[in-house]
Structure 1
């Protein structure tokens, strides 16, 4: 007989919930066990009541003493059960707090290391749903599901043991409605299962539409004259309404029948009818029916709880899957200690660099260029030509699909991240300021910078005087008493880059949001700052880079032309046409032969 190769056996893959709950699984199991024992103890008073009823019909002299003992035991068990349930809830909530903190920190750390291209293919609402809504959904799972399962399971188990110990025949009869409940419940779940995916997708689409609607509300109100929601939002709401109807319609009839069967009055009716029959047949005494009348209807509540938490479990499974997907997002590879190298100089080379977001979206193809130290290189071209992608590849926001980029002769993939960003500073179109003081925002990359160094960087970026005009100057907090325009925010980000004093500086439309009055001053300051440094500028207006040492003209992701301003004008190619159109690179693209 052939022995299977252990190496070829597929490893057992855990479900998304099992993977996420691993850090707190032990605590949740203990919480469920405490809840189960607590629920068993809280049901003991029902048996005490039945026992007291028996004593009431027995010898009076013996009954009084035993009644007091029974009452004492019942109250003690009730108090002990409530304490255990409270302890289980506390333990579960502490575990939930730990898990929530762990997941949010882990996701934030993961997303801080993913390629920027990952974000471009996803809506912000999708990320927000996983980081906020789905983790909130998991709260019900960790803080309530296991304790509820323990309470319901403990109550059902002790009740069944008690009833079968009294009379197995009436115990079986008492459970018949409960069996019918599970049959209808299973039918309902099977009917709605096919629509669960559409229901979850509809929720995600609404999240995305809400983000888009809020971001574009100013435009909507300006052009439509009202606050009516854009069509995409209305379509998302309508689609979700249809998905919700499709999800709930198959549930209505089966769940109505199931709830009718599990109603306490239904179970009590079964107990009384068959109890009367059994008494008439002489199988049991009338008083023996009392425990069934007290305990059997009490099984309905725990079973309904199981139904509700099973429904929540379905939502939690989808939420856990989305959270786990974020945690499994591929990240940029970091070099091993043995592979790390330090750049020798600041020369930058793009060697046969290509990049594609996916198989259908190729952005750059076979780009070769060199950025000499101390020179300024400008990247121009029509919108969508790949200018910003080229800059972000140098910043290693993502890695080339093919080829490599070197800094000082070293592949930037072999340079540790903190070392790379000490060599390369950047100012991008999208300004990102943190909720902190102006001083802290400028010193984000150099927290140890002195006040004088911070202010000097602000002067270089032509933002010092504006900061002094704020209510608390450099101590003013962004978003509170520091309300800055787009151009002012951009100048603040430039000051941040100036303070880092990197040998290489990347400027992607750095002055796009600056007003005309400050743009010239910023350009002059950046020119002075660029002396002795390698400067890469992504330009929208050609007149801002006409003095660059070399100008790279991109067209459809390839280097179409390369040279100085005068050389490219003399070439009478694409650059000359852009210049003739007014120097703007967003004009309608027309076919122009390569120089």
Structure 2
């Protein structure tokens, strides 16, 4: 399969563990060959020792019979141990490669795929692939070779019995093929629905406070049950096929053994074989159907793995971000913050072909200008900010900083150019310092403390048990307003020339909002500021207002001029004053 992540991971692990892989081949061959030995010993015990009542070699043959069975168990244990080790190494390689892919994957992927579905590919799908090695394809290969060896052994006993055995194989193959097709469809459907269930749980936990605040527990529970019931029905299909397959094979085995006994009876003697051969043939027939019974379980593991492989490879083949110019240093692009110019050159963007979110945006932002973007919800303001930071690539046109396309700048350099603050602050595992530096070694402790002091958090941090070294876990060490101040500190710690503020006061009360705006007013000195504000009356002082409507720029002017010339802006300001008065 082209660009197959699973194939590459398997080859890589085998090359690194060539000795173990050879030992696995030896174990597989040993299990197949030695499993054919006990029936042959049983034949000799009956024909040459029990029937003639000779005990000369009986003890030796009995020891040989038991030793062969013991050896089968030992080699089978070795095979399972090797498979477990190799399987874990392969899944480790797959997950490492998937994480590396996640770092390169195009941002558009995350707009089209929910987080729970992506997590499901890393967990459920990779675990299904692991089962292919521990209880799937290798076991199926062993069982197939066992079937071939058993058929040859029976043929050597009696050609007629061999023909009967061969007649059974197409029947068993047809039944297996029928179940294979139906189980594959059910497994693929199940993988998709498991991802939806995981995503619903993840989203519910993420938004649990909002759900409780708006008494939406019943709605979320109903949606969860809906997803769960759909998943349950697909699992029922899988379990039904799995449970029916084994009894059918058992019935065929009983019929085959009964036929051998009848045809070998003294009255018919159709097969012309000795009693020892009859006993050995029954043992071989039982051994023939044992691997076929196992094929049902192995088949299920393989179907799960196949669906998992498809989904993992689909993820691995997702479009990646175009090569960024790593040699381009952020400080070279904006060597002088007094000369930072941002240009929107006929920018058009759509998430899906034919459905433009933004259309033909043309703007020039001069150095240290304060620009606020306003418009109705869904008009494309946040999407525009993602384009400005180079997270998304315009469908048409470019956005440049000092003539350099922002999409071509490497992510590691963007932090030296842009400081981004949105309405939600995402903590990471680590100390208070880590929340600001994001564990970037190029950012010094002095820079972090200076940023925290600037936003007014120094005194509060001093009251914490370990100060700046306090671990920020799941507890509520910081209020919502303090988290926004941390977000501002995180944005300004590298002193970037451009600050991007995405509705950062949307979830704050009036007093906290006033404090945040005050900090931002001070932070705006010497910076180019691009902001989105849900309340025009509370935004920081702006030089220019850009009004977006239906994905286009409707108006661009100063706040004072818009109050005189734009009806929408004037009515919006008046409505806010009436609402908040």
Q: TM-score range by the shorter chain?
A: 0.7 to 0.9
1:223 and 1:521 map into 2 onto residues whose CA distance is: 28
Q: 1:445 to 1:311 in 2, by over 3 A?
A: closer
Question: SS at the partner of 1:303?
Answer: helix
- Give RMSD over aligned pairs: 3.5
Which residue pairs with 2:160 in the alignment?
169
Which residue pairs with 1:477 in the alignment?
471
Question: Residue 287 in 1 paired to residue 276 in 2?
Answer: yes
Alignment check: 8 A CA contact 1:335 1:416 kept: yes
Q: CA offset at residue 362 of structure 1?
A: 1.6
2:563 and 2:115 map into 1 onto residues whose CA distance is: 42
Which residue pairs with 1:5 in the alignment?
none
Which residue pairs with 2:149 in the alignment?
158
Which residue pairs with 1:134 in the alignment?
125
Question: SS at the partner of 2:456?
Answer: coil
Question: SS at the partner of 1:512?
Answer: coil
Q: 1:416 to 1:282 in 2, by over 3 A?
A: closer
Question: Residue 233 in 1 paired to residue 208 in 2?
Answer: no
Q: 1:547 to 1:356 in 2, by over 3 A?
A: same
Which residue pairs with 2:75 in the alignment?
84
Q: 1:566 to 1:98 in 2, by over 3 A?
A: same
1:516 and 1:399 map into 2 onto residues whose CA distance is: 36
Structure 1: gaps of 5 or more residues: 1-11, 586-595
* TM-score, normalisation: structure 1: 0.84
Which residue pairs with 1:41 in the alignment?
34
Structure 2: gaps of 5 or more residues: none
1:16 and 1:138 map into 2 onto residues whose CA distance is: 12
**Which range is displaced more, 177-186 or 345-354?**
177-186
Question: SS at the partner of 2:491?
Answer: helix
Q: CA offset at residue 581 of structure 1?
A: 1.8
2:243 and 2:78 map into 1 onto residues whose CA distance is: 39
Question: Residue 327 in 1 paired to residue 316 in 2?
Answer: yes
Q: 1:33 to 1:422 in 2, by over 3 A?
A: farther
Alignment check: 8 A CA contact 1:351 1:404 kept: yes
Which residue pairs with 2:288 in the alignment?
299
2:131 and 2:246 map into 1 onto residues whose CA distance is: 25
Q: CA offset at residue 182 of structure 1?
A: 3.0
2:187 and 2:72 map into 1 onto residues whose CA distance is: 38
Which residue pairs with 1:273 in the alignment?
262
Question: SS at the partner of 1:355?
Answer: strand
Q: How does 1:108-127 map to 2 (within 5 A)?
A: 108-127=99-118
Residues 354-406 of structure 1 show CA distances to partners (whole Å, capped at 9, x for unaligned) of 11111243211111122222222222222112111111111111111111111
1:174 and 1:584 map into 2 onto residues whose CA distance is: 90
**Which range is displaced more, 544-553 or 498-507?**
544-553
Q: 1:563 to 1:509 in 2, by over 3 A?
A: same
Alignment check: 8 A CA contact 2:435 2:490 kept: yes
Question: SS at the partner of 1:112?
Answer: helix
Which residue pairs with 1:545 in the alignment?
539
2:159 and 2:21 map into 1 onto residues whose CA distance is: 31
Which residue pairs with 2:556 in the alignment?
562
1:584 and 1:81 map into 2 onto residues whose CA distance is: 86
Q: How does 1:422-441 map to 2 (within 5 A)?
A: 422-441=416-435
Alignment check: 8 A CA contact 1:424 1:505 kept: yes
Residues 424-480 of structure 1 show CA distances to partners (whole Å, capped at 9, x for unaligned) of 221223322212222222121633544343222112223333333333332232224
Alignment check: 8 A CA contact 1:153 1:302 kept: yes
Alignment check: 8 A CA contact 1:32 1:149 kept: no
Alignment check: 8 A CA contact 2:389 2:418 kept: yes
Which residue pairs with 2:245 in the alignment?
255
Alignment check: 8 A CA contact 1:40 1:81 kept: no
Question: SS at the partner of 2:492?
Answer: helix
Q: 1:221 to 1:343 in 2, by over 3 A?
A: closer
1:568 and 1:194 map into 2 onto residues whose CA distance is: 60
**Which range is displaced more, 379-388 or 85-94?**
85-94
